[in-house]
Amino acid sequence: MEDKAVQDREDTELKGVSPAATNGHVSEKPGKAKKKRGAVIRNRIVKTVAEFIGTWTLVFIGVGSVVISPVVKFGFMQPATEGDYASNLSIAICFGLAIVAMAYSIGNVSGAHVNPAVSAAVFLAGRMDLIDMLLYWLAQFSGALFGAGCVYGIVQGDPDYSLAIVGMASNGYGMGYGDGYVLGSCFAIELLTSALFYIVVLGSTGKGTTVNAGLAIGLTLTAIHIMTIPVTGCSVNPARSFASAVIAGGKALQQVWLFFAAPFLASIIVGLVYRFKLLELIDEDECSQEKEKIEKAV
């Protein structure tokens, strides 16, 4: 027994845990705790940087596909000159492929949320803490602004480009934008498509998911864009809408509230759905075992 006690003490020390224990509890060595705190801080920085890069990529590729080759009928983004213009399909594919690329490149680092509303849903579902969510938001909004800024800087080299005419792929609603859908219809489609998108994100990245999650998320975003571009330009992402609106200013900035309200409302709904496991199956065998334990205890 003494040999066993000595061995246990040595094993404990090798793991960096103090052998002094009270009531069966052991305390970590100061050095071990300090290293752990350092690792936590470093990991948070790395995840924040990953979200910045991911959101920058989404906006740079997605918004760039509209502004550099603007769609003929897109409200604020009427082309300045005749020529070959991107279609709604090509824009949707650019947004979808950008998400797929980020899912497989930074997904294992930060989860590749690249969307403040997705982070909010993940937080409400109990899958991340408040500090991480706030850091993600900081990275996402700044990354989106940088992405839109890069696009705006590039198109300054086009003598035919005009911010007032072509715009910055801003989202909007009402007369003068897209097909002129009224506010209620625009809010409804943004709320529903955002909820659908967040369900795909949380559902495909939860327990028992596969490596195809990134593809499912990207294809869903593509489909949503194809459907929604004529209505609102398709947001489902407050950071993407905010970045375009800040640079475009004017009407785009006045209407950006909708593209915060609808996605964040959807994130609250979806986050709570997953928090209370309303879309998760119950393990029947586990329930049977628990029932047997209760019956035996009684």
Give pLDDT tens digits for 250-287: 999 999 999 999 999 999 999 999 999 999 888 777 66
Residue 74 has pLDDT above 50, yes or no: no
Phi-psi region of 275 (alpha: psi -120 to 50; beta: other; left: phi over 0): alpha
Average pLDDT, the chain: 86
Report the pLDDT value the prediction gives residue 82, as an integer from 0 to 100. Answer: 41
Considering the domain 33-275, what is its CATH architecture?
Up-down Bundle (1.20)
Report the pLDDT value the prediction gives residue 238, as an integer from 0 to 100. Answer: 98
Contact 72, 78 (CB under 8 A): yes
- Residues 14, 21: Cα–Cα separation, whole Å: 15
Residue 17 has pLDDT above 80, yes or no: no
Model confidence pLDDT, tens digit, residues 130-182: 999 999 999 999 999 999 999 999 999 988 888 988 889 999 999 988 889 99
Report the pLDDT value the prediction gives residue 210, as an integer from 0 to 100. Answer: 72
Report the pLDDT value the prediction gives residue 294, as an integer from 0 to 100. Answer: 66
Model confidence pLDDT, tens digit, residues 80-110: 344 444 688 899 999 999 999 999 999 999 9
Q: Given the DSSP bridges, would you call strands 25-28 and 17-22 parallel, antiparallel or unpaired?
A: antiparallel
Report the pLDDT value the prediction gives residue 290, as an integer from 0 to 100. Answer: 64
Task: Residue 219: name the closest of 110, 107, 87, 95 by CA.
Answer: 95
Of all residues in the chain, the percent with pLDDT exceeding 70 is 80
Residue 124 has pLDDT above 50, yes or no: yes
Contact 68, 166 (CB under 8 A): no
Model confidence pLDDT, tens digit, residues 169-226: 999 999 988 889 999 999 999 999 999 999 999 999 987 777 789 999 999 999 999 9
Residues with Cβ within 8 Å of residue 273, at least 6 apart in sequence = 199, 279
Residue 66 has pLDDT above 50, yes or no: yes
Report the pLDDT value the prediction gives residue 287, as an integer from 0 to 100. Answer: 66
Choose the weakest-confidence range: 32-36, 68-72, 230-234, 255-259: 68-72
